[in-house]
Amino acid sequence: AQSELQGRFDDLIGADERIEPRDWMPEAYRKTLVRQIAQHAHSEIIGMQPEGNWITRAPSLRRKAILLAKVQDEAGHGLYLYAAAETLGVDRADLLDALHTGRQKYSSIFNYPTLTWADIGAIGWLVDGAAIINQIPLQRCSYGPYARAMVRICKEESFHQRQGFELLHDLAHGTPEQHAMAQDALDRWWWPSLMMFGPPDAESAHSAQSMAWRIKRHSNDELRQRFVDISVPQAEALGLRIPDPDLRWNEERGHHDFGVIDWTEFQEVLAGNGPCNRQRVASRVQAHEDGEWVREAALAYAAKHSDKGVA
């Protein structure tokens, strides 16, 4: 009975095996996966807005083509992840409604404005770089559909990160004004990128359970530290200065020490008071309403053809 099912589930998790949609799973495991996968998907589609803002103003056709491809990829990642969430028995329309009404979150990072073209480079380099560090371990997540979605998403994310780094490298090695623009973008995007990894481990509500269920493979602070250690030499290669006076290599730790993160800013952004929260959700709701006719047409088409194929 239930205890047998729980035992089998625990054995699968303990053996680092995959849980598939048809396997029995504790309701709390299913709920936390719906929460995380849905919010991951919401992050991808909201993330299209700050970048989309620059598609019509890209400085060259090549840059415009790259940015178009990246924004389209983010949409695809969102659809991929909504499909993964639906394997848990939830309906995509309900997840979108939860996003639109603030009952579900999206990544804090997308509540900041993209003020200059250099921000597009900073997002690719830092935000997609952070996303990669967070998503690589998720390829080994215990829930099959989520782990498999991550494999393809990580491949595309590395192109996103590389094009952002290259964009910033061009600017940082361009005119003094371009260098200043690149440095200004790093100054504004560095600390919010560290916050992407979530609250400190001591204040993380879900980490212990998520790690026990092998959904989360590394803690928030561990991945944040990995991101800092990887970013320092990259900033040096760019010739840009990371805006943290406390950043320094710590030989005995074998990691970089870094300054204190402003967690009140993080909590404010999560509470909906970031620079762009209202605008991001309003644009999302508007896009959803503007797309009503597409959903109606698709449903009408499906209804008209549903009798087809009946023997």
Binding site for ligand 3HC (CB under 6 A): 35-36, 39-40, 43-44, 47, 74, 77, 105, 107-108, 127-128, 131, 134, 195-199, 204-207, 210, 216, 220, 270
Neighbours of 93 (CB within 10 A): 11
Alpha-carbon torsion angle 9, 15, 21, 25, nearest 10: 20
Q: With respect to ligand 3HC, which residue has the nearer C-beta, 201 or 241?
A: 201
Q: With respect to ligand 3HC, which residue has the nearer C-beta, 180 or 221?
A: 221
Residues ≥6 apart with Cβ < 8 Å to 140: 16, 147, 214, 217
**164 within 8 A of 125, measured Cβ to Cβ:** yes
Alpha-carbon torsion angle 211, 216, 217, 222, nearest 10: -100
Least distance between ligand 3HC and beta carbon 299 (Å): 29
In 132-283, the DSSP E strands lie at 248-250, 255-257
Q: Among 235, 228, 67, which Cα is nearest to 159's? A: 67
Q: With respect to ligand 3HC, which residue has the nearer C-beta, 71 or 172?
A: 71
Least distance between ligand 3HC and beta carbon 175 (Å): 29
Least distance between ligand 3HC and beta carbon 154 (Å): 10
Chain Cα centroid distance, residue 306: 36
Q: With respect to ligand 3HC, which residue has the nearer C-beta, 157 or 244?
A: 157
Q: Among 171, 197, 193, 172, which Cα is nearest to 50's? A: 193
Least distance between ligand 3HC and beta carbon 204 (Å): 4
CA-angle at 210, arms to 112 and 21, nearest 5°: 100
Least distance between ligand 3HC and beta carbon 177 (Å): 28
**240 within 8 A of 186, measured Cβ to Cβ:** yes
Q: With respect to ligand 3HC, which residue has the nearer C-beta, 83 or 180?
A: 83
Q: With respect to ligand 3HC, which residue has the nearer C-beta, 50 or 295?
A: 50
Q: With respect to ligand 3HC, which residue has the nearer C-beta, 216 or 280?
A: 216
Least distance between ligand 3HC and beta carbon 84 (Å): 11
Least distance between ligand 3HC and beta carbon 7 (Å): 25
